[in-house]
Amino acid sequence: MTRVALIIQYDGSLYSGWQRQPKVISVQETLENAIYELSSKKTKTYAAGRTDAGVHAAGQVVHFDIDFVIPDVKWAAALNGKLPESIRVLESVRVSSEWHACHSAIYRHYRYLINNNKMPNLFMNKWSWHRYQKSLDDSNMRRALNGIKGEHDFFAFQKSGSKRLSSITTIKDIEIIRTNDLISVDIKATGFLYGMVRSIVGQLVLVGENKITPDIFYERWTKKKKNEVLESAPAKGLCFVNAIYKENVFTKFDNNDLFPKFKIFGFS
C-alpha cells in the first residue's frame, strides 16, 4: 500500500462540508469518487481539518492509502482530470505510513474575511461577509482578544451538536488586519471546536459595532456563557488556509499561505 498526501483547494459554497454525509454532496465523497474512477478501488480519505458546509479551503491537506500503480506525483493531474472545477489538487506526494494528515499536524490556520464597505462587491461576495451597517472599530476588536492566546476552555464558542469530549484547545495566534474596508481575522490553533471560528468572529463584530464591550467578550468565553453567544458569522467568509507540520512533506509548497490576496478600496 502507498500513502499519498495531497494539497487541495475547494469552493465550499457548493458542498455540505468536507465530511461525507448521506443525501448531500461533500468534498470528501467527491474526492473519493474521483479516486475510484481512476483506480476502481474504494478508498477512504483523511483531512487535516473538517470544514463545515459553505466553508472554503485554500490549502487543505488530505491523505489516502491505495494499492494502485500511479506515481505519487501524477495523482494531482490525474485527479484534476476527474474532479469538478470547484476542487483542485495542487500537489501530490508519497509519505510514510506513519504520517497522518490530521494527527501529524501541529496546528491549523483559518482566515475569516469581512467586507466592511457600504457598497457590495460581486467578486468578493462568495468569499466574505458583507457587514456594512456600521464601520467596524478594529482597534476595539483587537482589545477584546487580550488573554485569548494559549490553552483554554472555549466551550462558549462551541456550537451545539459537537461530539468532541473536551472543549479545551490551544490558540497559538490570532490577528486582526484591516486593509481599507477589508478586515481579516486569522486564527491558528492546535484544534478547532465545532463552529468555533465563526462564533468568535460573530462576537468580535459585535465588539466592533460597539454593541458589546471587549470586557463582555472576555467574560463570555472565560466564564463559559454559551447562552449569551448567539451571533455567529456566516460560513462563506471562512477559509481553511493551511495545516502546519513538523516537517514539510510537499515539494512545491513550503507551508505557504495559499489564500489569494484580496483588496477592497473605499468609495468616496
pLDDT single digits (tens) 174-217: 999 999 999 999 999 999 999 999 999 999 999 999 999 999 99
Residues paired with residue 183 on neighbouring β-strands, in sequence order? 114, 178
Catalytic residue flag (residue 215): no
Average pLDDT over residues 27-55: 96
CATH for 2-104, among 3.30.9.10, 3.30.70.580, 3.40.50.11270, 1.10.10.10?
Answer: 3.30.70.580
The CATH 3.30.70.580 domain(s) of the chain lie at 2-104
Mean pLDDT of the chain: 93
**At 3, is the secondary structure helix, strand, or coil?**
strand
Neighbours of 239 (CB within 10 A): 28
Cell matching residue 253: 509548497
Rounded Cα gap, residues 92 and 5, in angstroms: 6
Instruction: Give residue-wise pLDDT tens across range 114-125.
Output: 999 999 889 899
CA distance 220 to 253: 39
Contact 231, 205 (CB under 8 A): yes
Average pLDDT over residues 38-52: 95
Measuring CA to CA, which residue among 135, 149, 147 is closest to residue 210? 135
Percent of the chain clearing pLDDT 90 (strictly above): 85
pLDDT at position 8 is 97
Higher pLDDT, 255 or 156: 156
**What's the predicted TM-score (pTM) here?**
0.94
CATH code, 106-240? 3.30.70.660
Domain with CATH 3.30.70.660 in the chain: 106-240
Judged by DSSP in three states, 219 sits in: helix
Coil/strand/helix, residue 207: helix
**Which one from 11, 52, 137, 215 is the annotated catalytic residue?**
52
